[in-house]
Amino acid sequence: MAGLSVAVMDGPEGPLTGWGRTAPTTARLRTPTTAAEARAAVRAADGRGLLARGLGRSYGDAAQNAGGTVLDMTSLARVLALDLERGVVTCEAGVSLDRLMKLLLPFGWFVPVTPGTRYVTVGGAIGADIHGKNHHVSGSFGHHVTRMRLLTAAGEEVELAPGEELFDATTGGMGLTGVILDATIALLPVTTSLMSVDTERATDLDDLMQRLEATDHRYRYSVAWIDLVARGGATGRAVLSRGEHATVDLLTPRQRRDPLAFQPRSLPPAPRGIPGGLLRTGTVGAFNELWFRKAPRERRGQLQRIGAFFHPLDGVPEWNRVYGPGGFLQYQFVVPYGQEAVLRSIVEQLSRHGCPSFLAVLKRFGEGGPGWLSFPMPGWTLALDLPASVPGLGPLLDRLDEQVLAAGGRIYLAKDSRMRPQTLAAMYPRLAEFRALRERIDPGGAFTSDLARRLAL
Amino acid sequence: MMNALGDPQSLLVLGGSSEIGLATARRLVRSRVEVVHLAGRPSPALDAAAQELRALGAQVHVHDFDAAAVDTHETVLGKIFAEGDVDVALLAFGVLGDQEQGEREPLAAAAVAQVNYLGAVTSSLVCAQALRRQGHGALVVLSSVAGERARRSNFIYGSTKAGLDAFAQGLGDSLQGTGAKVMVVRPGFVRTRMTEGMQEAPLATTADAVAEAVVTGLRRGSETVWVPGALRYVMSGLRHVPRAVFRKLPV
């Protein structure tokens, strides 16, 4: 080994945070460009362990490892194989969904699942077992992964297939089972790069839930943006945005010349040094009001670009800076169908507390996947952003956690930055198995993260 | 780990029977702290503190720690950090000493400096090294307004706090970028066992108010905390009062 030993590029040591920019901790950053370099880094990791990090879009501390090593996976980003007949791509874990879309759309293929941002890596998408607006039809990301290669604590590369224990522990396993090196993903065929979108307004939460329940099955993609600042009769007013990939016949003659064109545009990034406290219920309420009024009462078949439909916030790079130096957090939970009263009560509590939350997102999940710590389960999921400085936020969210738990629901690990370990354990029945598996395959604790330390994963 | 809202899960109190230390521990245990290390000289007050925190549901470990015994700090504190990450280390020990006795007996003055300054220097250096290795954590140092400007009536105590304050600020700067940080807390007159029977200064406060300010400071990621907050403005004025006038002020 001596003559062949691989030196891993020594990165800077600096504080890392998640997308919410809270709770910074410092780790040694390593940037492997090959699987061999990743293996060398795993072997060199000390007692503080190692963790793979993608593009840092998890909101909380999932991609941090205080005092240990963090592998910046974004340079391990080669596309290894592409089957344009069957629509299957094999790529390294650091490849982003943005890159896959740019590469694949011209050939008429789309990623099977996309979250609210294109800037996530394939490794991160598997680690968090992400979901998108099509969960009720297509399930989570892990459902479309047909194989992957995992670098284990022993420094071995293992091939994993769906149905295997380690595969299911790794999808949703938050990077704690090993370093995902590459994966094969089944793609979705499309004929254009545009979306045909139906938009409608809902006057309150009950109206919204009725509309979603009645017609969600007609759409591949469905989501509702709720105004959580509105109170009283307008509590839970929302705009539904649902759609399908447009077919060529829906396009204008001009659009038909290049139906698969994909050139997402973006504005300049949000400036640095935005002070905290700009986002108060007044300013956010005004924004939400404007946004609600701007939405059509009802509009069918509008053609939207992929960026506008799936990733509106990607249009402003580093938008997370608008919350100022105090940072923000995202609260996302799911409660099973039949627990609508709990959902309604939580929306009312958030609205009453006066949380300055920009548009929150409500969606109906379909069947859950086999991932042990995978988040989605059949039910209603609500996600909202909150400035960390909101007074009384900690106790409020602790109370909501209890209500979610009592309703048989759970909180999403990729978003969490503040939960109690006991609450989490009660929400994820397979956590004990997950811990036992880690104990077995990684007795020395080679892989860990701030999230894992905080929640005893 | 400290969560996004600044709530720690583990706490080390140096000066485990300190009233401010206990009041802070109480508050933190009620939010997220599960593990508390109380380091102090064995005493009924220390046992009572441990008992009370256990009753609140915390896992409490008591460690024999003498702030004046500077050569033991590396070993004693090293063991505590070896047991697991410490999210917040609160340096709460200190002695007031007797100003008049200190002026008469230099060794009595040196004993105050030994605990308040030397003991604080060694133990905070040990903590800082451990926090740096962890890549996260906060060292909270209880300084005092008495260190902001020396007063005729308690300059021995005040000078030790002045030294500690300057040291803690520098230590905090040295930790920039390491994930660890130092928060300096400057309370005014605090009504505790230590100050019992003394003439109260204006803007006097309580151990509980200091504890609340510590918790809020952690939440905000503050570097300096005055208790009560108004002292910051009072002291920035007093700092510029000429000596000849200052020594005549009834403060």
pLDDT confidence band for B61 (50 / 70 / 90): very high
**B129 has a chain A CB within 8 A of its CB:** no
A66 vs B177: CB contact, 8 Å cut-off?
A: no
Q: In percent, how much of chain A has pLDDT > 70?
A: 97
Which of A58, A49, A32, A31 has the alpha carbon at shortest distance from A178? A49
Question: How does pLDDT run across B220-239, given as a tens digit for each residue?
Answer: 999 999 999 999 999 999 99
**Interchain CB distance below 8 Å, A26 and B5:** no
Chain A residues whose beta carbon lies within 8 Å of the beta carbon of residue B178: 13, 26
Model pLDDT, residue A169: 98
Q: Which residues of chain A neighbour B35 with C-beta distances below 8 Å?
A: none
Query: Cis bond leading into A378, ω under 30°?
Result: no
Q: State the amino acid at position A189 in one-letter form.
A: P
SS3 state of residue A331: strand
A453 touches chain B (CB under 8 A): yes
Q: Distance, in angstroms, between A30 CA and closest chain B CA?
A: 16
Cβ within 8 Å, pair A417-B136: no
pLDDT digits (tens, 9 = 90+) for A358-417: 779 999 999 999 999 999 999 999 999 999 989 999 999 999 999 999 999 999 999 999
Whether A68 and B220 lie within 8 Å, measured CB to CB: no
pLDDT tens per residue, range A43-87: 998 899 999 999 999 999 999 999 999 999 999 999 999 999 999
> Quick one: angle between helices B120-134 and B155-174, nearest 10?
20
The reported pLDDT for the residue numbered A291 is: 83
Within 13 Å, how many C-alpha atoms sit on residue A323's CB side?
A: 22
Tell whether the model's pLDDT for residue A1 goes beyond 60. Answer: no
**What confidence tens digit (pLDDT) does each residue in A214-252 have?**
999 999 999 999 998 888 888 889 999 999 999 999 999
Nearest to residue A130, comparing CAs of A179, A173, A194?
A173
At residue A11 the predicted structure's pLDDT band, cuts being 50, 70 and 90, is low
In 3D space, the residue among A241, A391, A419 whose CA is nearest the CA of residue A330 turns out to be: A419
Q: Name residues whose C-beta falls within 8 Å of residue B18's C-beta, 6 or more positions apart in sequence.
A: B40, B92, B93, B94
pLDDT digits (tens, 9 = 90+) for A117-160: 999 999 999 999 999 999 999 999 999 999 999 999 999 999 99
Segment B83-103 mean pLDDT: 96
Residue type, B203: L
Q: What is the structure's pLDDT at A303?
A: 96
A contacts of B131 (beta carbons < 8 Å): none
3-state secondary structure of A173: coil
| Chain A residues whose beta carbon lies within 8 Å of the beta carbon of residue B5 | 22, 329, 388, 393-394, 418
* Rounded Cα distance, A41 and A50, in Å: 8
B135 vs A22, A26, A327: nearest CB: A26
Give B-chain residues touching A418 at CB under 8 angstroms.
Answer: 3-5, 7
> Any chain B CB within 8 A of the CB of A46?
no
Choose among A20, A25, A326: nearest Cβ to B179.
A25
> Chain B: residue nearest A22 by CA?
B4
Summarize the confidence of residues A27-49 as an average pLDDT: 95
Region of B137 on the Ramachandran plot (φ > 0 left; ψ -120 to 50 alpha; else beta): left
Best CA proximity match to A98, nearest among A265, A220, A269? A265
A184 touches chain B (CB under 8 A): no
CA-wise closest residue to B112 among B161, B45, B165: B161
Q: What is the rounded average pLDDT of the residues A177-205?
A: 97
| Identity of the amino acid at A442 | D
Residue type (1 letter), A362: L
Check whether A296 has a pLDDT greater than 90. Answer: no
- More reliable by pLDDT, A266 or A1: A266
- Asked whether the beta carbons of residue B179 and residue A388 sit closer than 8 angstroms, the reply is no
Answer yes or no: are the C-beta atoms of A166 and A441 closer than 8 Å: yes
Contacts B4 to A, Cβ<8 Å:
20, 22-23, 60-61, 327, 329, 388, 417-418
Name the closest residue on chain A to residue B135, using Cα atoms. A67
Q: Count of H helices and E strands in chain B?
A: 10, 9
Q: Give the pLDDT score at A3.
A: 37
Judged by a CB distance cut-off of 8 A, whether residue B216 touches chain A is: no
pLDDT mean over B150-178: 96
In the structure encoding, which two tokens stand for residue A61, read together? 């501390």
All residues of chain A having their beta carbon less than 8 Å from the beta carbon of residue B177 are: 13-15, 26
Say whether residue B30 is in contact with chain A using an 8 A CB cutoff: no
Interchain CB contact of B178 with A (< 8 Å):
yes
Residues of B with catalytic annotation? Answer: 157
CA-nearest of A229, A34, A5, A221 to A132 is A221
**Residue B28, min C-alpha distance to chain A (Å):** 13
CB atoms A454 and B9 under 8 Å: yes
C-alpha A36/C-alpha A234 separation (Å) is: 57
Most B CBs within 10 Å, among A22, A330, A397, A457, to test the B interface? A22
Chain B, nearest residue to A392 by Cα? B5
Interface membership of B222 toward A (CB under 8 Å): no
The answer to whether residue B135 neighbours chain A at the CB level (below 8 Å) is yes
Q: Residue A275's pLDDT band (boundaries 50, 70, 90)?
A: confident
User: Which of A15, A22, A453 lies closest to B4 in CB terms?
Assistant: A22
Q: Does A417 touch chain B if contact means CB atoms closer than 8 Å? A: yes
Q: Is B13 in the A-facing interface, judged by CB distances under 8 Å?
A: no
pLDDT (tens digit per residue) in A98-123: 999 999 999 999 999 999 999 999 99
List, for residues B112-126, the tens digit of each pLDDT value.
999 999 999 999 999
Using a CB-CB cut-off of 8 Å, the residues of chain A touching B134 are: 48, 66-67
What average pLDDT does chain A have? 93
